[in-house]
Amino acid sequence: MNVVVIGAGIAGLACARALTDGGARVRVLERGRVVGGRLASRRYDGRYADIGAAYLVADDPGFAALAARWQDRGLARPWTDTFAVYPGSPARGPVRWAAPGGLRSLAEDLAEGLDVTLEHEVRTLPRDADAVVLAMPGPQALRLGPPAGVADAARGQRWQPVLTAVLTYPERVWGDFHGAFVNDHPVLATVCDDGDRRGDGAPVLVAHSTPGLAADHLAAPDAAGPVLAGAVAEVLGIRARPGVRVHRWTYAQPAPGTGPYATDGRVWLAGDAFGRPRVQTAWLSGRAAATAVLQSSER
């Protein structure tokens, strides 16, 4: 069976890995320069900072087993089960996992040995494949002209933008915390201690904006950098001025959806919009689509 997976984020890579393990011939096409999608890390000043997903939660048995294998190999580690809340008391929750080499290193591990073509812009659905998996946000999938059932599912998805600001300070000048949820703030939603998250103690914070700020600055995201830096300074009581880099995520946060994927029988749509928006959800969706594709080939 010949399958084309479009998108090399966590959903696409999980799908391609499961398809390959099931005996299918799989090509992964990715328009970006690297794999990972929103499981993203970017190199600044000689180190990687996580600029997409903030962490992993692994409470599904299959994904937890994968996280444990990554831990055994030194690729991932349990980070924290407690986030600060501003204003409010610290919030305990599930264990959040981080990656010493940046979260994109986990996507690179999933991609190892797969047939992945980078910097490949797909404009129409491939015709030379028995099945096509669109591992991407619905609005992006619609540009490829998917069949009606898949298009309807893609149109039903609701996405919000986010800006990420990487704030690099001369030294660590904030108190002990891992990350924080910021409630009811006009511009700041979360902030993570990237040095604590990565385990190298670097004086780097990563702030994620509210959708409202992102929507106002999609055309010129760098202009939001000082705004986010000022909000972090206000919330954490920091006087030092950081270096600021901003990354734009036009499709960052999907509204929770239902079902593991959408399909018309040949074209499949998968990703973290199918369930609670998490890295784990994208992985589960990709694998579920792969299982269904393999089963369809047996009929």
pLDDT, tens digit, for every residue of 32-64?
999 999 999 999 988 999 999 999 999 999 999
Closest CA to 135 of 274, 265, 295: 274
Q: What's the mean pLDDT in 155-159?
A: 98
Closest CA to 104 of 62, 58, 49: 49
Q: Which pLDDT band, with edges at 50, 70 and 90, does 298 fall under?
A: confident
pLDDT digits (tens, 9 = 90+) for 84-137: 999 999 989 999 999 999 999 999 999 999 999 999 999 999 999 999 999 999
Q: What's the mean pLDDT in 161-189?
A: 96
pLDDT digits (tens, 9 = 90+) for 196-249: 999 999 999 999 999 999 999 999 999 999 999 999 999 999 999 999 999 999
Is a pLDDT exceeding 90 seen at residue 172? yes
Q: Which pLDDT band, with edges at 50, 70 and 90, does 299 fall under?
A: low
Q: What's the mean pLDDT in 251-266?
A: 96
Share of the chain above pLDDT 90, in %: 97
How far is 53 from 75, CA to CA, in rounded Å?
A: 16
Structure confidence at residue 297 (pLDDT):
79
Is a pLDDT exceeding 80 seen at residue 191? yes
Number of neighbours of residue 65 by Cβ within 10 angstroms = 11
Strands (E) in the chain, as ranges, are 2-6, 25-29, 41-44, 47-50, 56-57, 77-86, 91-98, 116-117, 131-135, 159-168, 179-182, 188-193, 204-209, 243-254, 262-263, 267-270
Show the tokens assigned to 67: 């996280």
**What domains can you pick out in the chain, each with its CATH number?**
2-42+103-157+257-297 (3.50.50.60), 54-102+159-254 (3.90.660.10)
